[in-house]
Structure 1
Amino acid sequence: MSTTTVAVAPLTTPEAEALIDAARGTAEAAGVAVAITILDAGGHLLAFRRDDQAVLIAGETSTRKAYTALQLDASTADLVDAVQPGGLFHTLPTALDRPLLFIAGGVPVHRDGRLIGAIGVGGGAPDQDHAFATAAVKALA
């Protein structure tokens, strides 16, 4: 029995910057000041941008949203119910000493079906942040 491993190109700095530009453009068009974090598959920071007028906490929330989306390979918008009482991940936010944040705005980035990074957006309402992150990922594809 033979197995073949297919390498998938990692998320690059130019791609990370393109994700920032796409999310920022969408947010700007909506009149929302945001912070945007891009992480590679290892959870390392590739790019970050906070608009001058974004609330200061947006930088932290964008990073935690990206980290959560990366670690669980899922959109944070899809995980909100899972941390509610009785949900599958109800105790996860307190069980780990990690910067997880279960608020919409974090989206994993895939290439050829493989996880290569994540984007997190903070500063708008959760549904806005999710829309900005999703638009950026779609623009990258």
Structure 2
Amino acid sequence: MSTAATTVTARTAVAPLTSADAEGLVSAAAAAAEAAGIAISVTVLDAGGHLLAFRRDDRAVLISGETSTRKAYTALQLDAPTADLVDAVQPGGPFHTLPTALDRPLLFIAGGLPLHRDGRLVGAIGVGGGAPGQDHDIAATAVAMPA
């Protein structure tokens, strides 16, 4: 009987995204949107895809709540900014059939960003309500704000 040796690499624990972190991101995104004159919805998910924070501006179109959540979920699941994935779902792209192949709320429109701490994925933020480039910029501004 042989025993296979298993090497386990110890990973340093990374603090999870907290509700306070999420509220800070939502506030930063709301401030950036207000400064730009854009009514948005913003969603923050933890690493498991669970909702940590959500806010929809009273003036934001109703669907922006759904799009912000789907953008965050897509960024989390693929660990990539949704802006970087837009071409991947075009005909001939590597993810062309992904939006219809899964029963998941994926959305390949700019505005979703994965959130990392010490190089580890801890959650995602999604912004909806403006043009895709505006949503991406607002999300990026929120992420760049000091905690």
Structure 2 length as normaliser, TM-score?
0.93
Q: 1:58 corresponds to which letter in structure 2? A: S
The answer as to whether partners of 1:13 and 1:47 remain within 8 angstroms in 2 is yes
Q: In the alignment, does 2:48 pair up with 1:60?
A: no
- CA shift digits 1:54-94 (9 cap, x unpaired): 00000000000000000000000000000000001000000
* Structure 1 residues 101-116: aligned runs within 5 Å: 101-116=107-122
Q: Does 1:131 align with 2:132?
A: no
Contact 1:19/1:140 (CA < 8 Å) preserved in 2?
Answer: no
Q: 1:3 deviation in Å?
A: 2.6
1:18–1:140 contact (8 Å) kept in structure 2: no
**Judging changes above 3 Å, is the alpha-carbon distance between structure 1 residues 129 and 2 closer, same or farther for their aligned structure 2 residues?**
closer
Measure, in 2, the Cα distance between the counterparts of 1:53 and 1:75: 26
Matched residue of 1:22: which SS? helix
Structure 2: distance between partners of 1:118 and 1:2: 28
Corresponding residue for 1:119? Answer: 125
**How far apart, in 2, do the equivalents of 1:3 and 1:70 lie?**
24
Runs of 4+ in 1 over 4 A off after TM superposition: none
Report what 2:47 is aligned to.
41
The aligned amino acid for 1:11 is L
Distance 2:133 2:77 in 1: 21
Q: Deviations over 1:43-62 (max 9, x none)?
A: 00000000000000000000
Aligned position for 2:99: 93
How does 1:76-87 map onto structure 2 within 5 Å?
76-87=82-93
Which ranges in structure 1 are unaligned for 5 or more consecutive residues?
A: none
In 2: Cα distance, 1:61 partner to 1:36 partner: 9
**Structure 2 unmatched runs, 5+:** 1-6
Structure-to-structure mapping, 1:7-22, within 5 angstroms = 7-22=13-28
CA RMSD of aligned residues (A): 1.0
CA contact (8 A) 1:121 1:130 kept: yes
